[in-house]
Structure formats: structure tokens, C-alpha cells
């Protein structure tokens, strides 16, 4: 498997990703070409990102930007998302942090980032690979062992959700991030349409994160039927909604903030808003563009 196939974006299985009313992708990739590198995991289809597919050996080289009928130039291809989350042999892998442990200071402390990434996230990676191996063993053995499917499936849901959400979480952040997204980016325009303003979105998102019962996530997602942005509360992490494309996630498990913020989750959530990488969120949204 080529390196390009390590770069995936997840969309709900069985869903047709419809348009956003946003600038069309400039590369005339067909959905069939994209699906050539797809895999179904835990109710999600992982597709090579648009950027990686454009550069794949099977695809023609991306044409130079051309002028649209309205005189505008097409938007640049989305940046790669989820790079390094799958190894060349198809096993899940711990993607390297896209920054140093201390780069998110003072909002997220280096020790928490290191433990969170190197220990907790790695645990989900190993758990997801082990669950897949166990399911393969169960299928092979058949017979009475099929009764073990539930436990192995639970393990896969928990660990794979953890792996994919944390992969997004790390790239959702950067040093000197935060503030509103660019006004003319895809995420900026859709945010204005669906929430009214960045401030209105941020208020709802932070409240959702602070009020998740127990451990879990606040997710800004793209709902692919009505084609709108929604903010969700995901209790635990395996109780993910499979009908949205996740774009931005704030991890509110205690391991994400306890060393610096102790029980003050709201302070952590407020700090998180200062490191949001809107370029990554925008890339994830644009990867859900129609592939027609």
C-alpha cells in the first residue's frame, strides 16, 4: 500500500456525501476512483483524502487551477487529513504529533499532551488492532466462538473510536490557533450560515463540551443529509454518531486536562478554543465535497 493510502478521511458508511454549496473540487476525480482506496471500518468508510487521491499513482496528476465560469479560481485542494493513522501494512498506527509537546502551552501543558498522545492514544491504537485480530480469529474458528463477537465488537468500537477521534483532535490544534475561521473559507461561510456567527458557535460548542455527562467529546460535525453543521455531545467515545463527518473535536475525558486544570473542565474548554487549527477543520469539511 502506498503512503498516500495512509491519508484518510472518514465518512459514514452507506451515506452519499452531498454538496455543501461550496466551491467544487477542481480535480475531476470520480467517486469510483476514490472508492478504489476505501475501506469500511466500524460503520465508517475511510476514503483517501482528496489531496492524497489526487497524488495517487492511479490518478492523473492534478491539473493546474483553471478559471471558473464566474471568473473565480477554484479553491486549493484540502490539506491532507488523518496522515499516519494507518500504517503501510493496513494496521492502525499512532500518528506523530504535528507539533512539539510544549507547542500548545500555555493552553495545554506539555506533560498532559505527552501522556495523552504517547500513552492514552497509543492504547487505543493497540486495542483497535487487537480487536480486529480477535474478530478475524473468531470468524476463522466459527462455531461456538461466534458468541464472542459482541465483546470483540465492543472493543473495536471503543478503541477505534478513540483512535480516530484522537487523530482528529491532535490535528485540530496548533500553536497560535484559535479565533474565528477565515471568513471566506468553506468552514467560515458554513459556520455563518448555520450558527449566525463564530461567537454563537463557540458559545454553543463550549457549553456542549462542558456539559458532557462523564467522559466524552464535543464534536462539530457535518451532517450529510441536510448538509449542515451540527454540534454534538458524544458520551464516552464509542457512542459516536455515524451520520456526521466529524470536523472538530474537543476531548473532555479527564486525561485531557486534569494535570493543569484539575476539575475545571470549562477552563480547559475555553483554553482549547485558543489552539483550534481552522485550516485542518476546513480541510476536513472540504474533503466531504461531492465526488461527482
Q: Does 168 bind Fe ion (CB under 5 A)?
A: no
Our CB check for Fe ion shows the closer of 83 and 256 to be 256
- Determine the interface stretch with Fe ion among 26-34, 55-63, 90-98, 243-251 (rule: CB under 5 A): 243-251
The distance of closest approach from Cβ of residue 106 to Fe ion in the complex, given in angstroms and rounded to an integer, is 20
Our CB check for Fe ion shows the closer of 60 and 96 to be 96
Our CB check for Fe ion shows the closer of 132 and 256 to be 256
Our CB check for Fe ion shows the closer of 158 and 195 to be 158
The count of residues interacting with Fe ion (CB under 5 A) is 3
Q: Which residue is nearest to Fe ion (CB)?
A: 251
- Tell me which of 26, 251, 280, 282 binds Fe ion, using CB under 5 A: 251
- Determine the interface stretch with Fe ion among 40-48, 128-136, 254-262, 264-272 (rule: CB under 5 A): 254-262
Residues 30-89 that bind Fe ion (CB under 5 A): none
- Determine the interface stretch with Fe ion among 58-66, 171-179, 250-258, 279-287 (rule: CB under 5 A): 250-258
Q: What is the 3-state secondary structure (H, E, C) of the chain?
A: CCHHHHCEEEEECCCCCCCCCCCCCCCCCCHHHHHCCCEEECCEEEEECHHHHHCCCCCCCCCCCCCCCCCCCCCCCCCCCCCCCECCCCCECCCCCCCCHHHHCCCCCHHHHHHHHHHHHHHHHHHHHHHHHHHHHHHHHCHHHHHHHHHHHHHHHHHHHHHHHHHHHHHCECCCCCCCCCCCCHHHHHHHHHHCCHHHHHHHHHHHHHHCCCCEEEEEEEECCCCEEEEEEEECCCCCCCCEEEEEEEECCHHHCHHHHCCCHHHHHHHHCCCECHHHHHHHHHCCCCCC
- Tell me which of 253, 257, 261, 268 binds Fe ion, using CB under 5 A: 253
The distance of closest approach from Cβ of residue 275 to Fe ion in the complex, given in angstroms and rounded to an integer, is 15
- Determine the interface stretch with Fe ion among 57-65, 88-96, 196-204, 256-264 (rule: CB under 5 A): 256-264
- Determine the interface stretch with Fe ion among 94-102, 136-144, 245-253, 260-268 (rule: CB under 5 A): 245-253
148 alpha-carbon distance from chain centroid: 30
What are the residues binding Fe ion (CB under 5 A)?
251, 253, 256
Amino acid at each position: 500500500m502506498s503512503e498516500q493510502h495512509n491519508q484518510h478521511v472518514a465518512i459514514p458508511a452507506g451515506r452519499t456525501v452531498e454538496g455543501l454549496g461550496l466551491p467544487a473540487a477542481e480535480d475531476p476525480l470520480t467517486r469510483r476512483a476514490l472508492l478504489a482506496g476505501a475501506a469500511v471500518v466500524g460503520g465508517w468508510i475511510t476514503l483517501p483524502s482528496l489531496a492524497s487521491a489526487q497524488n495517487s499513482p492511479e490518478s492523473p496528476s492534478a491539473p493546474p487551477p483553471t478559471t471558473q465560469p464566474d471568473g473565480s479560481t477554484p479553491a486549493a485542494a484540502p490539506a491532507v487529513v488523518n496522515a499516519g493513522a494507518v500504517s503501510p501494512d493496513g494496521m492502525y498506527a499512532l500518528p506523530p504529533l504535528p507539533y512539539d509537546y510544549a507547542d500548545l502551552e500555555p493552553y495545554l501543558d506539555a506533560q498532559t499532551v505527552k501522556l495523552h498522545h504517547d500513552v492514552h492514544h497509543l492504547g487505543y491504537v493497540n486495542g483497535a488492532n487487537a480487536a480486529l485480530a480477535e474478530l478475524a480469529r473468531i470468524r476463522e474458528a466459527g462455531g461456538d466462538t461466534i458468541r464472542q463477537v459482541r465483546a470483540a465488537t465492543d472493543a473495536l468500537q471503543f478503541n477505534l473510536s478513540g483512535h480516530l477521534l484522537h487523530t482528529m483532535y491532535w490535528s485540530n490544534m496548533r500553536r497560535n490557533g484559535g479565533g474565528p475561521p477565515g471568513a471566506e473559507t468553506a468552514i467560515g461561510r458554513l459556520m455563518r450560515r448555520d450558527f449566525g456567527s463564530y461567537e454563537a458557535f463557540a458559545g454553543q460548542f463550549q457549553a456542549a463540551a462542558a456539559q458532557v455527562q462523564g467522559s466524552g467529546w464535543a464534536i462539530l460535525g457535518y451532517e450529510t443529509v441536510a448538509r449542515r453543521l451540527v454540534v454534538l455531545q458524544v458520551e464516552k467515545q464509542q457512542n459516536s454518531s455515524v451520520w456526521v463527518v466529524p470536523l472538530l473535536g474537543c476531548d473532555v475525558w479527564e486525561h485531557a486536562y486534569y494535570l493543569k486544570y484539575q476539575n475545571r473542565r470549562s477552563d480547559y474548554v475555553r483554553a482549547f478554543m485558543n489552539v483550534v487549527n481552522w485550516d485542518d477543520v476546513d480541510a476536513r469539511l472540504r474533503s466531504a465535497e461531492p465526488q461527482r
